Amino acid sequence: MAHALSPTEIQRLLDGAHSFRSRLQVRAVRVLEESEWRTTHGEVLHAQAGDWWVIDGDDRWSVADDVFANTYEQLDGDHYRKTATVTAARIRDAFALQTLEGLAAGEPGDWLVRNPSGECWPVTSDVFKRRYVRVQGKQ
């Protein structure tokens, strides 16, 4: 696995980074029991009962209940939109970081993304381009 970023390294990488918002509508349903899921790069992460499965086409990831409540709004039925603006930077080297769900890795060119409350996670470059749009100014 790649070098695990410390909180200080994460802060340094995101200092001066741009703000982005999600451009997608997603489906979301409650996680009913403790579950495991795999990232794009194959890491096994963990969802707890009461978390949310967020679904974008064939891609699915878990979001902690409190994070979901503070960063998504319901549109209709099981359709939601992420309302929180995130800070993100494209990372040149392979990296890993501790997320709420477990240790996740990013490859060279992937993005390091952070919610306003501090949760961070990696996003592949192609997924980032599809999901996010830059907002004017910096966070």
On the question of pLDDT at 139 being above 60, the answer is: no
Span 13-41, mean pLDDT?
A: 96
Span 61-86, mean pLDDT?
A: 97
Residues 6+ apart with CB under 8 A from 129: none
pLDDT band at 137 (very low <50, low <70, confident <90, very high): low
On the question of pLDDT at 35 being above 70, the answer is: yes
Count other C-beta atoms under 10 Å from residue 32's C-beta. 11
Q: What is the predicted pLDDT for the residue at 2? A: 80
If phi over 0 gives left and psi between -120 and 50 gives alpha, with beta otherwise, what is residue 9?
Answer: alpha
State the DSSP H helix or E strand holding residue 24, giving kind and residue range, or none if neither: none
- Inter-residue contact 25 to 81 (CB < 8 Å): yes
Span 27-47, mean pLDDT?
A: 95
On the question of pLDDT at 1 being above 80, the answer is: no
If phi over 0 gives left and psi between -120 and 50 gives alpha, with beta otherwise, what is residue 69?
Answer: alpha
On the question of pLDDT at 119 being above 90, the answer is: yes
Cα-Cα-Cα-Cα dihedral sign, residues 36, 37, 43, 49 = negative
- Inter-residue contact 47 to 31 (CB < 8 Å): yes
